[in-house]
Amino acid sequence: MRPVRPTWGSFAQFEKADPDFMAEREDVVSDEGRFNL
């Protein structure tokens, strides 16, 4: 049986993220034209 809530230790089961996953990326959706002020 597993606990209802995962623990921090459960992250060890996942693959590590790419080294550049927090790198600056261009916007997928722009805010231009979304608001009329």
Q: What does the CA dihedral 22, 26, 29, 35 come to, rounded to 10 degrees?
A: 100
- pLDDT value at position 7? 84
DSSP 9: G
> Does the global pTM surpass 0.85?
no
Backbone angle region of 33, left / alpha / beta, with phi > 0 → left and psi within -120 to 50 → alpha: left
Convert the pLDDT of each residue in 1-37 to its tens digit.
766 787 888 888 888 888 888 788 777 777 777 777 7
